[in-house]
Structure 1
Amino acid sequence: MNYEKVLECLDTEGLIRFVQDVVRIDSVYDPGVPGADESRVTEFVSKFLRDDGFEVHLDEVAPGRTNIVAFLRGEAGGKTILMEGHQDVVSIGNREEWKYDPFGAEIVERDGKKVMYGRGSNDTKGNMGAAIFAARAIRDSKIPFKGNILLCIPVDEEGMMIGIKHFIEKGWAKGVDGALICEPEEKHLCVFQKGALRFRITFHGTQCHGCMPLTGNDPNWALARFIVELRQLENFEKDRLGKHEFLGWPSFTPTVLQAPVTGVAQLNVVPKEASLALDVRTVPGQEHDGIRRQIQGIVDRLSRQHSSGDDKFSATIEQLDDRPWTEISRDHPLVASAARAYREVMGWEEIYDGVPGATDGTFLQAWNNIPVLVTGAGDREIPHHVDEWVEIDDVIEASKIFALTALYFMES
């Protein structure tokens, strides 16, 4: 079927106004500040969808944090495609470093192209709007289709992803045949996603005076030994697996070192405990159970080697998160549909890629075995930067690709 009418029905001006409206709403989550959550985005977007005739459901995940679930239903007998874009954004950091108002959604011309600035314009409110307006264009075209379009607009993608976990646990993902995760990937078709394992490792010692370290046990030496071993493990995995075509290298990255864990740090006090936050990013060929055993093995071996005295090694491991890597075949109907849509909208061959981090799609595939493809508007290196931006034409093109992908997939 020729779906040119669908593209003609895409309200491009309305799309950009919508993106400006949601970018202007601060949805940075801060548990220490009342009202610093996604609630105002939830209110605005859910009202927009309801007023526009969508079937809308609100599902509270936590106080002030509510998922939006909306349906555009076609005729019975077709597939269900999920399009997902999250409500939350990351912190703006130091506001004085921003040239543009982080919540101004200002549109300016740069290098001959119109660009919108603002936190979330790129990651991923531009893509959220592109998905919503893609569904609107399909509806407004009045072209009949079999199947369903499910819009999931969850909270907390930038945190522990409690929104998508809740979405799955409540059964909303049942019956979904394919998921289009709308993230800033320069419209590349990302058929791989890196996995993520997060740990907090606490090293135990004995507090004492800094001038008499032998009267206690400094946990920082244990932490240092662990980091050296961790680096060796990372190098081993790099040698074993090599550099992945789309995902690059696996990594074992200490991100936060803290001593003491509680209380006031003082120069002349050996702390009782030290801690390390560890962010492991995995690629195909790595099994998370095996990595857990390797890390525990380092702790067990160092504990045996340094078992007594002021040099005693003692540590405990807490796993914080587990997000397996994902893969979808280029031959899958969802990928084939997106590739066809890309070629028709862009006028050249599709580009395949991989997501360097994890997305909400990680859990959709890992927990529900739903085929996941990640794509969307926005320079993939811009998320979380000061003066975050997205090209206006990029958002419009992504919306067209989303609309055609959904239609081609539902009829496949």
Structure 2
Amino acid sequence: MELNLDLFEQHKEYEDEVVSILQDLIRIDTSNPPGNELKAAKYLEKLLSKEGFKCEIFESDENRGNIYTEIKGEDENLPILLLLNHLDVVPANKEKWEVDPFSGDLIDDFIWGRGALDMKGTVAAQVFAVIALKRANIKPKRTIKYLSVADEEAAGNYGAKFMTENHWEKIKATYVICEGGGFKIPVRRFDKYTLQVAEKGPFWSKIKVKGEAAHGSTPRSGVNALTKMSKIITKIDNHNIPVKITKPYKTMINNLDINFFFKFLMKNSFTVMPIINAISKMFPILKTFIEPLVKMNITPTMCKSGTKVNVIPDEAEAQLDCRLLPGMTKDDLMNQLKHILGEKLFSELEIIPIQWDEGSFNEIDNDFYEKISEIIGEIDKDGEVLPFMVPGTTDNRYFRWKGSVAYGFHPMIADMDFEEMSKLAHGKNERISVNNLKLGTEFYYRLIKDF
């Protein structure tokens, strides 16, 4: 596939620079917990200050840093654009990796390390885009803001949430571009760059059940809370949650290059799963991504109980990773759990919120969406965008709740097996190709220059 990467054609040396920035960022261990993003923020402050930027660091807690800068536009009345990214990464199990996950090694044109995809590669691409614009002495049409935040991997309380609640006047923007989209799906009729316009809401919950303690040698003299919890987990795991067709899902299907009848079947709650199951026989990866877009997820992920091997536990607790579709609320989750467990077992549950955030969605009938589509067509002559909902959660939600149009987009092509590539973020051997790093940088540069 031929890509039009003018920035790197005109400045051959820029490739080494942006690769070096990403390597430096990977080598700063910002595993969350504990985060320690302040060190990465100070690295960016030093980098940007050398290029003439005035930066501000906002510390939300000890060693938790968020960094902000901006470029004033020609017309301060035009809606502001914010480049948004996060500095923290999920932990990495070094024993499972082929290389040190914080080495930033460049091997066969791939940069390896935790965060290469999620999302220090985007940090490097966005920060170098603003540097390149500054070096070119180009004043953008509108004001461009840049923000790297902490804590996205743990719900954003010390990052995007902190910044939107405490420094909104500083960072507010009509348009925001962050993570959550950009992969070009290598499947015919689906082969578009996904543009994240919606995301499910995390309703992470702790559930507890009570029992009655007794000696382990006489189990019938007590009530085993662990056994009760195992029944609850089994019921949740075995239940087939019903389909719900939402507006963002319909928007995605309407923008696919498929005929009207097939679109109708894909948007019908009775026929969508049989269609997905049939397609997945040819393309198994599609079911992994599409099924969560039409269903609520309730996934048991942690469980603990008991104090000693010879004591019947009188309490058990589990944690559920629940993901609600845009438009769903706490009541939808409670009703679904009651339906799964039955009235009696549900009434014995104590349900404790860990993080409850509703899903979010932005429409696509705006200049921002059109400009993104236009730029992708310039870079990739066959490139089109596909409005997409992600089953996970990003910092975009905090800005959508403030009224911003927030999209997730770092364009990437599948330059390795797509199924393997889809498992790299949060997985072992995470890496990004130099080509995809350049592609993202080119896109962000054109966006801030031309929009």
Return the TM-score normalized by structure 2.
0.77
Check whether the contact 1:338–1:404 (CA below 8 A) recurs between aligned residues.
no
Identity of matched residues, %: 23
1:358 match? 393
2:167 match? 171
**AA aligned opposite 1:46:** E
**AA aligned opposite 1:318:** I
Equivalenced residues, count: 385
Within the candidate set 3, 13, 18, 2:21 is matched to 18
Task: State the Cα distance separating 1:325 from its structure 2 match.
Answer: 2.4
Check whether the contact 1:210–1:270 (CA below 8 A) recurs between aligned residues.
yes
Please say if 1:318 is aligned against 2:352.
yes
Check whether the contact 2:66–2:147 (CA below 8 A) recurs between aligned residues.
yes
Unaligned runs of 5+ in 1: 305-312
Specify whether residues 275 and 5 from structure 1 end up closer, same or farther in structure 2 by C-alpha distance, changes over 3 A only: closer
- 1:7 and 1:316 map into 2 onto residues whose CA distance is 60
1:307 match? none
- 2:104 and 2:32 map into 1 onto residues whose CA distance is 19
- 1:277 and 1:318 map into 2 onto residues whose CA distance is 9
Aligned ranges 1:242-281 → 2 under 5 Å: 242=272, 247-249=290-292, 250=295, 251-260=297-306, 264-266=307-309, 268-281=310-323
- 1:50 and 1:84 map into 2 onto residues whose CA distance is 19
SS in 1 for 2:241: helix
**AA aligned opposite 1:164:** A
- 2:9 and 2:133 map into 1 onto residues whose CA distance is 8
Task: State the Cα distance separating 1:96 from its structure 2 match.
Answer: 2.5
**AA aligned opposite 2:48:** L
Task: State the Cα distance separating 1:101 from its structure 2 match.
Answer: 1.9
1:310 match? none
Specify whether residues 7 and 290 from structure 1 end up closer, same or farther in structure 2 by C-alpha distance, changes over 3 A only: farther
Q: For residues 214-272 of structure 1, give each alpha carbon's deviation from its aligned partner in whole angstroms, at most 9, with x where no partner exists.
A: 32221123323433553576523469685599743322111111113xxx441x32112
Please say if 1:38 is aligned against 2:72.
no
Task: State the Cα distance separating 1:319 from its structure 2 match.
Answer: 0.9
Aligned ranges 1:308-347 → 2 under 5 Å: 314-347=348-381
**AA aligned opposite 2:203:** L
2:194 match? 188
Specify whether residues 185 and 219 from structure 1 end up closer, same or farther in structure 2 by C-alpha distance, changes over 3 A only: farther
SS in 2 for 1:321: strand
Check whether the contact 1:203–1:316 (CA below 8 A) recurs between aligned residues.
yes
Please say if 1:127 is aligned against 2:118.
no
SS in 2 for 1:331: coil
- 2:438 and 2:131 map into 1 onto residues whose CA distance is 13
2:91 match? 91
1:145 match? 140
1:100 match? 99
Aligned ranges 1:203-242 → 2 under 5 Å: 203-231=209-237, 234-237=240-243, 242=272
- 1:209 and 1:102 map into 2 onto residues whose CA distance is 47
Specify whether residues 333 and 247 from structure 1 end up closer, same or farther in structure 2 by C-alpha distance, changes over 3 A only: farther
Q: For residues 265-298 of structure 1, give each alpha carbon's deviation from its aligned partner in whole angstroms, at most 9, with x where no partner exists.
A: 41x3211211111111233463344224543677
- 1:374 and 1:319 map into 2 onto residues whose CA distance is 27
Task: State the Cα distance separating 1:362 from its structure 2 match.
Answer: 2.0
341-350 or 14-23, which deviates more: 341-350
- 1:213 and 1:180 map into 2 onto residues whose CA distance is 57
**AA aligned opposite 2:120:** K
In terms of fraction of residues, the more strand-rich structure is: 1
**AA aligned opposite 1:87:** L
- 2:364 and 2:56 map into 1 onto residues whose CA distance is 33
Check whether the contact 1:126–1:377 (CA below 8 A) recurs between aligned residues.
no
Task: State the Cα distance separating 1:359 from its structure 2 match.
Answer: 0.8
- 1:289 and 1:333 map into 2 onto residues whose CA distance is 36
Task: State the Cα distance separating 1:183 from its structure 2 match.
Answer: 4.9
2:187 match? none
SS in 2 for 1:66: strand
Please say if 1:29 is aligned against 2:32.
yes
Check whether the contact 2:181–2:196 (CA below 8 A) recurs between aligned residues.
no
1:78 match? 78
Q: For residues 363-392 of structure 1, give each alpha carbon's deviation from its aligned partner in whole angstroms, at most 9, with x where no partner exists.
A: 221x21211111115644310121111000
Please say if 1:118 is aligned against 2:153.
no
Task: State the Cα distance separating 1:394 from its structure 2 match.
Answer: 0.4
Q: For residues 32-66 of structure 1, give each alpha carbon's deviation from its aligned partner in whole angstroms, at most 9, with x where no partner exists.
A: xxxx6223212211221222222211111111101
- 1:5 and 1:16 map into 2 onto residues whose CA distance is 14
Check whether the contact 1:123–1:184 (CA below 8 A) recurs between aligned residues.
no
- 1:62 and 1:234 map into 2 onto residues whose CA distance is 42
Within the candidate set 391, 398, 401, 2:440 is matched to 398
Return the TM-score normalized by structure 1.
0.84
Check whether the contact 2:64–2:150 (CA below 8 A) recurs between aligned residues.
yes
Check whether the contact 1:194–1:281 (CA below 8 A) recurs between aligned residues.
yes
- 1:54 and 1:181 map into 2 onto residues whose CA distance is 21
Q: For residues 129-178 of structure 1, give each alpha carbon's deviation from its aligned partner in whole angstroms, at most 9, with x where no partner exists.
A: 10111112222222333321111111111112111100110133664111
Q: For residues 45-95 of structure 1, give each alpha carbon's deviation from its aligned partner in whole angstroms, at most 9, with x where no partner exists.
A: 1221222222211111111101111212223222211111111111111x2
Aligned-residue Cα RMSD (Å) equals: 2.9
Specify whether residues 28 and 232 from structure 1 end up closer, same or farther in structure 2 by C-alpha distance, changes over 3 A only: closer
- 1:39 and 1:155 map into 2 onto residues whose CA distance is 8
Task: State the Cα distance separating 1:322 from its structure 2 match.
Answer: 2.2
